[in-house]
Chain A
Amino acid sequence: MEPKTLILVGVVLILLAAATAAGQILRRRTALGLNPAALEAFGSRVRAWWLICAVVAGAFLVGKVATVVVIGLISFWALREFITLTPTRPGDHRALFWVFVLCTPLQYVLVGMGEEQYGLYSILIPVYAFLFIPARIAMAGDYKRFLERAAKIQAGLLICVYCFSYAAALLTLDLGENADPDANERLLFFFVVIVQLSDVLQYAWSKLPTKHVIVPTISPTKTWEGLIGGTVSAALVGAALAWATPFEQWWMAAVMSTVIALMGFAGSLTMSAIKRDRGVRDYGTLVEGHGGALDRIDSICFAAPVFFHLTRYYLTLVG
């Protein structure tokens, strides 16, 4: 393993340990009068962060293929949650069958095959599946709320499978001839660390005494203070980790981290809007005692495709 990789993993472990310790200490200090529910929410975010980082760190140990499979399984589970909470009609059954059994696995197989399949995996769902879904529903003959039903299934597949699969695609992105063997794994790790960190930091910054809520009807916890503070802190951390990435300039790593933080915000806001509309608090309400997979990955779903394509574009400009 490259020394750079070991240092990156070490830094993240220290950050995680610090966040966990901070949560524990604040919990003991009841004299500060902090809201226990807010501390609990912070704690659950940190726990999710441990889990996701452990999955990604597994990539260093067990190899790329196994990691693509694990990411694919998380994606599959997220799609189940999405469609379960989205009303469909019996006429959608056959279309859904192919969405689950063919489109989802195929996307991850193509991503796992790497750069030479880029031409196919980047359009498989937006072109082929996008057109297949309404056609198959039409074949079933049920036209009631047709457009709405087709759009729901398309959106679920695009968000939970297509967008999320770009996280796995970071592992097979061609980083050029000078890249060391761990470079792809480090890129994925960098991405996941920035997404999750900006999520936690946005939450932490939103606890400032002044609160300017951005969209009160959708998320009362997301404030301008949180968004700006979280994004700036994520950009600083990104700049400090630039040595671990393929970005040669520190400010480029900072720009990428800013984009990741903003897209992460957009993702979790969008998924909150969907949850509000469906009248549920989180996608995991079906599974007792667990947060849903989709609640944990909503920011990744939005940040991954944008980060992937910007990085790919950057590499063609530099290389």
Chain B
Amino acid sequence: MRNVRGNDPTGDSRGDSRGPTISDRIAQTILALTARFLSGASVRWIDCQPDTCQRVYFANHTSHLDAVVIWSALPAAIRVLTRPVAAADYWTAGRVRRYLSGRVFNALLIDRKEIKVHRSPIDMMIREMGDRYSLILFPQGGRSMGPEVGEFKSGLYYLCKKRPDLECVPVYLDNMNRILPRGEVLPVPLLSRICFGPPLWLEAGEPKSQFLGRARQAVQRLKEA
């Protein structure tokens, strides 16, 4: 099995270190188009523009497709610099998922069951981002059943504490819970909506609960936009 779980000694979460080949690039384009078609997503940028600077896109989470749909909604030049953070147990099950997450959308896989103190996911994210990549993150942890935005876990805060320069861009996904709900395998191609909102930063000395509350509100505000 390829080392896609990020627990190999070199710390490289990708299965192999070669860069994307031409076939990977073609697969990326096809996957992005397929995701756009399946989700029927209309994309809105509200007080925010697509940019290649290092960002953390954080969104509400209702479906396994969420990460791919946000990734596909980004312009191609930004898409290659953006890596979704996804659950290792889902994305390493089976060859297709492993190929898609490893070679195509270049996911950063987190083992949800085995979080070790000295190899925390936050350290891995920071290492993998370098000074180049942006991340797509779902701070709720798991997927919620309905359209409500659940409580945020603290990962986003600790990430920003170590890298306060990162722009945190709130993203709201609408209707994805009906396209591929929890526990379903096959998607129903309804229409969805993706809103990117104005970026926020961790203020110096801002307490954890205040920052997470502010971030969660930013996503909720996009729901009404």
Query: Which residues on A are within 8 Å of B, measured CB to CB?
Result: 80-81, 83-84, 88, 90, 93-94, 96-97, 100-101, 286-288
**Closest Cβ neighbor of B178 among chain A residues:** A88
CA distance A244 to B40 in the complex (A): 39
A90-B181, A93-B181 known; A288 vs B42 contact (CB < 8 Å): yes
CA distance A101 to B189 in the complex (A): 9
Question: Given B44, B145, B186, which contacts A97 in the complex, CB threshold below 8 Å?
Answer: B186
Query: Chain B CB within 10 Å — which of A93, A100, A101 has the most?
Result: A93
The 7 A-B pairs with the shortest beta carbon distances in the complex, nearest first, are A84-B191, A96-B188, A84-B190, A287-B42, A90-B181, A286-B191, A80-B191
Once the chains bind, are B191 and A287 in contact (CB under 8 Å)? yes
Give the interface SS of chain A, mostly helix, strand, loop or mixed: helix
Once the chains bind, are B181 and A100 in contact (CB under 8 Å)? no
Question: Given B181, B182, B190, B193, which contacts A80 in the complex, CB threshold below 8 Å?
Answer: B190
B103 to chain A, nearest CB (A): 27
CA distance A210 to B21 in the complex (A): 69
CA distance A101 to B186 in the complex (A): 10
Q: How large is the interface on B (under 10, 10 to 19, 20 to 34, 35 or more residues)?
A: 10 to 19
A133 to chain B, nearest CB (A): 13
**Closest Cβ neighbor of B174 among chain A residues:** A286
CA distance A97 to B178 in the complex (A): 11
CA distance A101 to B190 in the complex (A): 12
**Closest Cβ neighbor of B183 among chain A residues:** A90
CA distance A81 to B40 in the complex (A): 10
**Closest Cβ neighbor of A286 among chain B residues:** B191
Cβ of B181: which chain A residues have Cβ within 8 Å of it? 90, 93
A93-B184, A288-B42, A288-B44 known; A81 vs B178 contact (CB < 8 Å): no
Q: Pull 29 A–B residue pairs with CB atoms less than 8 Å apart, ordered by A.
A: A80-B40, A80-B189, A80-B190, A80-B191, A81-B191, A83-B188, A83-B190, A84-B40, A84-B175, A84-B178, A84-B190, A84-B191, A88-B178, A90-B181, A90-B182, A90-B184, A93-B178, A93-B184, A93-B188, A94-B184, A96-B188, A97-B187, A97-B188, A100-B188, A101-B186, A286-B40, A287-B42, A287-B191, A288-B44
B224 to chain A, nearest CB (A): 14
Query: Chain A CB within 10 Å — which of B42, B186, B191 has the most?
Result: B191
Question: Given A88, A94, A100, A287, which contacts B189 in the complex, CB threshold below 8 Å?
Answer: A100
